[in-house]
């Protein structure tokens, strides 16, 4: 968990390499639905562009369907879910059914100024979701994804006005969800202001300790 742009996607991808567990990013699932113009994609396009959250009911359907797939039966890395107190309840229900005990919730932290700086320079691959940055993580060839060769794009919600809205939504709706995990003693904070590799080391150690 963590503010938009704090590095959840990057860290979850690194953790997937280390653990072999599938990386379940609700943001990627929703963006793919928008890209292929599925019925869900048409419903959520405007919501994603505004920086607000998709409804808890729709998120419940999407996450239940995703976690029932065969590759998720041995565990999974959730990125961007849960984001509200209601979604915490949904996840509790899903985990109970799968007979999985939640042993750690990791929150990446960084200052708001750093977040805005990171998100404004972020460029992403619309095909494989790899993440780059105009100053700190340049692709080998300008504007081209290192991993799959697609043209990189700026996410429509990475403009300054929408970034501010996403930060407000985080404070209003996701912070209480985080606090509910803190009360249950599950929350581990990871300082995400350094480089991705050192954050990955700290996160990896925290996961192993858990």
Binding residues for ligand AMP (CB under 6 A): 4, 26-27, 30, 47-48, 51-54, 59, 80-81, 83, 87, 157, 166
- Closest approach, Cβ 208 to ligand AMP, in A, equals 25
- Closest approach, Cβ 63 to ligand AMP, in A, equals 8
If the CB atoms of residues 54 and 182 are measured against ligand AMP, the closer one turns out to be 54
Strands 187-191 and 105-109: parallel
- The residues facing 105 across adjacent strands are 187
- Closest approach, Cβ 61 to ligand AMP, in A, equals 12
To which residue do tokens 């150690």 refer? 205
- Closest approach, Cβ 40 to ligand AMP, in A, equals 12
Query: Residue 26: helix, strand or coil by DSSP?
Result: helix
- The answer to whether the beta carbons of residues 87 and 80 sit under 8 Å apart is no
| Structure-block tokens of residue 141 | 């060839």
* Nearest C-alpha neighbor of 62 from the set 95, 24, 13: 24
C-alpha angle with apex 192: 54 to 165, nearest 5 degrees?
Answer: 35
If the CB atoms of residues 141 and 171 are measured against ligand AMP, the closer one turns out to be 171
Catalytic residue among 8, 31, 118, 123: 8
If the CB atoms of residues 59 and 130 are measured against ligand AMP, the closer one turns out to be 59
Catalytic residue among 31, 118, 123, 166: 166
Annotation says 122 is catalytic: yes
- The answer to whether the beta carbons of residues 162 and 49 sit under 8 Å apart is yes
- Closest approach, Cβ 145 to ligand AMP, in A, equals 17
Cβ-count burial of 153 within 10 angstroms (0-12 exposed, 13-18 middle, 19+ buried)?
middle
If the CB atoms of residues 46 and 141 are measured against ligand AMP, the closer one turns out to be 46
Annotation says 166 is catalytic: yes
Catalytic residue among 31, 83, 118, 123: 83
Annotation says 52 is catalytic: no
- The answer to whether the beta carbons of residues 154 and 122 sit under 8 Å apart is yes
If the CB atoms of residues 65 and 205 are measured against ligand AMP, the closer one turns out to be 65
Residues with a catalytic annotation lie at 8, 83, 122, 155, 166
């Amino acid at each position: 968990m963590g503010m938009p742009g704090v590095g959840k996607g990057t860290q979850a991808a690194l953790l997937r390499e280390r653990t072999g567990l599938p990386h379940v990013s609700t943001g990627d699932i929703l963006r793919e639905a928008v890209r292929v113009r599925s019925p869900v994609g048409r419903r959520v396009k405007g919501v994603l562009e505004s920086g607000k959250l998709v409804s808890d009911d729709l998120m419940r359907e999407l996450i239940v369907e995703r976690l029932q797939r065969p590759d998720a039966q041995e565990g999974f890395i959730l990125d961007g879910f849960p984001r509200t107190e209601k979604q915490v309840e949904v996840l509790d229900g899903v985990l109970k059914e799968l007979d999985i005990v939640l042993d750690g919730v990791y929150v990446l932290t960084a200052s708001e100024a750093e977040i805005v700086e990171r998100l404004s320079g972020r460029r992403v691959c619309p095909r494989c979701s790899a993440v780059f940055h105009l100053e700190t993580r340049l692709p080998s060839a300008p504007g081209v994804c290192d991993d799959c060769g697609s043209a990189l794009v700026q996410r429509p919600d990475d403009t300054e006005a929408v970034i501010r809205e996403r930060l407000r939504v985080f404070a209003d709706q996701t912070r209480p969800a985080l606090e509910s995990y803190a009360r249950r003693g599950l929350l581990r904070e990871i300082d995400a202001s350094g480089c991705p590799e050192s954050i990955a080391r700290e996160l990896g150690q925290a996961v192993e300790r858990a």
